[in-house]
Amino acid sequence: MVKRVEQKKRGKLTRRRKKIILIGAEGNNKTEQNYFKRFNSRESEYVVIFAKGNDTDPLKVAKSVYKSSRPNEEDLHFDDGDCAYCVVDTDVDYAKQSKIDEAIKYGSNKHIEVILSNPCFEIWFLQHFTYSTKSFSSNDAVIEELKNYIPSYEKNGDVFDALLPHIQTAKQNALKLEQYHDKVGHRKKSMERNPSSEVYVIIGKIR
């Protein structure tokens, strides 16, 4: 649990110094956690924490985020700037779309935003180095492409230092891809948007 630092000011308690970004990710994959937690050692008005659980179903991930945001857990205050995200990959699994849609619907009135990477989180890493509208047939294909820029890349590894100098490029490339998919009429938060990653939304909060 993130402790709130409070002080008396004119008879009132002031809010803690740092706002919370709560993230729920799929399964036992630590790639997302290893990446996001590195921002906690840098100057930011936010601290990143992670929801409990290792579900792979997007709806169950969203539910774990909601549970972790409640009193007696992290007790987030959304009207005071706290945020909650459900980070999900499409995995080129078209049967997964219905679960993604359910997670979006579930979180829509609970302050939980589904952040989709298509087909996988490594698309966000790849956007630090290149822009392309070429779709990928598998997660492994994305990783092989990423190895052109980070030859030693392995799942669950820490590549934060290699990525950080290019983070503005990644944001620009991600937004450019969003504009491309909008232009050609691909549905938002859908399998149609291959490749794409909405991780830039979270990064825009952190820095």
Q: Yes or no: say if 88 and 116 are a contact pair by the CB < 8 Å rule.
A: yes
pTM (whole model) above 0.75: yes
User: Between 3.30.70, 3.30.410, 1.10.3470, 3.40.50, what CATH number should domain 14-206 receive?
Assistant: 3.40.50
Confidence band, pLDDT 50/70/90 cuts, at residue 6: very low
Burial-class residue 52 by CB neighbours within 10 Å (0-12, 13-18, 19+).
Answer: exposed
pLDDT of residue 1: 52
Higher-scoring residue by pLDDT: 53, 88:
88
Pairing between β-strand 8-9 and β-strand 46-50 as defined by DSSP bridges: unpaired
